[in-house]
Structure 1
């Protein structure tokens, strides 16, 4: 498992270019990362300022200078800075600048997840989500869907519904309740709808698909397509694949081809880059579906000039990205459903 180590959850009301004064110091504005800012933070850190400890830790963390980051985060944590505690959880859990120790990482993360002070509320849902992920994946802790669900729900019901940890937890619950061994389509729809309304692109795609098929909700093709389009336009590969498939099934072949072509020529390297922004396996799944749809149109000569050679190329590419979904689509094709 990799925790959310790309950045510590931030309070949007916090200063980004200004270091808070310590004692009777005059508040001074600097651009974060500038030499002036760095000199100021070092000076304040040497005088025991917890905010400066954390700021320097984060500065070095983002530069992947983990030994220095660890040092400053430890200093800030000892002064009760929970942002630093969160980052220490990440570093111990993922073995960044320190020996990998999931148990210690979990202790740090639970300390953040159980915080009650208002100034820490922006951290709590992300910590709760990360703990849910640990239980769900069984990484460094005994796997437990029940524990994962409990922690996800805590994060998903955060008072700030725009918190990134809250939104990720809502998506995670939607995905979990869509699995065969924990299937509850009404719950899946409920959580995907919440995440989609907060801007989660894969949940938008899942919500659109559920509305098209009437799974967990009343069938509503018009609204379903709107959700797929909204997600696809913003770069979600999974939504693009589902939209291409829906156009094909509705015999809107030219639209299916046009939509599929937007992503069908992406290679593995490009897909790897996209995985940093989206859920990795859904990136591959979306590309595979669009490749399959394009291949089928080429095979039939619908919406594009017929070409068995190109059809085979895209069928093969679909399988390369996601064998399971490609196999499912081949089965549907064999039975005349697609």
Structure 2
């Protein structure tokens, strides 16, 4: 399981960099009139004006503006420009972004060891300016130990760091660490499902879309908690409505196995319309692994409906296409589902 990095934590809000720039105090109020009615301008125009305002602040020696310019480039996906800007700064937020960029190879060849060093500097710092970054840095460092990338592989050290980052379920701590602990305890042998349920519950309560979908499955199958169909469907439907494709795939399976074939086919068709895993991951902050699995499940059961004419008109050519899509997205899962189907249990 490949985890994604924790986004840069914001001290106060999750506003965009353009919104942040609009709040920078500037004596030349005439130059900021465009911000009061910014919806009338193109995105490119707003970016150019933001760069202009930030450059003015940089020239006056404003250290925050230096970071904001790098963050502006980072949010636009201009990683090479962002890297150059962050490298000129010495603040902890720039240091954090450099750690992420070196670890994941954004705007530079990947150098996980260097990324780990930046995260360690943040965690070990006594500066108040690094305080709001420590939970996120600990999650990222735990990720490095879990994957054995940039450092030795150590599940024990990853668990320790994620416990610190999760901070007893604090909603202001790393929600990704809370979800990661849930996944860790589900994947262990033997599984520690009660612990997994606890951490997914904490993460879900703090807004984790990933954990909300997984909680639905734990309720559905009685993993780590007493089986509760009502709670399961509530979690799965809410997660589905928020864009969790893994939850969508399991809802398709649920409808199919209970012979709600029309509902299964229609829901599966809507689910597989967008199969751009990376784009969905960026929009929902869910792991590509689970997105691909959810899409594969929906594709498989749609193919089954089309092959057998269940809940939709029989179409063998379309069934073949969707079987192929399921195999492309998740070969192992598709093979398991096909084996189960051929033994007459679906």
TM-score (norm 1): 0.83
8 Å CA contact 1:51–1:76 kept in 2: the answer is no
Secondary structure at 1:231 match in 2? helix
Q: What is the aligned partner in structure 1 of residue 41 from structure 2?
A: none
Q: 2:280 aligns with which of 231, 256, 274?
A: 274
Q: What is the aligned partner in structure 1 of residue 334 from structure 2?
A: 326
Q: Deviations over 1:228-276 (max 9, x none)?
A: 1111112221111100111122222222222212123445xx3342232
Matched residue count: 327
Q: What is the aligned partner in structure 2 of residue 53 from structure 1?
A: 66
Q: What is the aligned partner in structure 2 of residue 12 from structure 1?
A: 12
Q: How far did 1:169 drift? A: 1.3
Q: What is the aligned partner in structure 1 of residue 150 from structure 2?
A: 140
Deviating more after overlay: 103-112 vs 154-163: 154-163
Deviating more after overlay: 302-311 vs 210-219: 302-311
Alignment partner of 1:249 is 2:257 = yes
Q: Distance in 1 between matches of 2:307 and 2:237?
A: 26
8 Å CA contact 2:3–2:287 kept in 1: the answer is no
8 Å CA contact 1:18–1:29 kept in 2: the answer is no
Q: CA RMSD in A?
A: 3.1
Q: Distance in 2 between matches of 1:159 and 1:239?
A: 23
**Uncovered stretches (5+) of structure 1, i.e. residues with no partner:** none
Q: Distance in 1 between matches of 2:30 and 2:160?
A: 44
Residues 102 and 313 of structure 1, relative CA distance in 2, 3 Å threshold: closer
Residues 299 and 86 of structure 1, relative CA distance in 2, 3 Å threshold: same
TM-score (norm 2): 0.82
Residues 66 and 235 of structure 1, relative CA distance in 2, 3 Å threshold: closer
Residues 46 and 205 of structure 1, relative CA distance in 2, 3 Å threshold: same
Alignment partner of 1:285 is 2:290 = no
**Uncovered stretches (5+) of structure 2, i.e. residues with no partner:** 39-45
Q: How far did 1:180 drift? A: 4.8
8 Å CA contact 1:19–1:28 kept in 2: the answer is no
Residues 172 and 62 of structure 1, relative CA distance in 2, 3 Å threshold: same
Secondary structure at 1:107 match in 2? helix
* Residues 86-125 of structure 1 mapped to structure 2, 5 A cutoff: 86-97=96-107, 100-115=110-125, 120-125=130-135
Deviating more after overlay: 210-219 vs 278-287: 278-287
Q: Distance in 2 between matches of 1:116 and 1:316?
A: 54
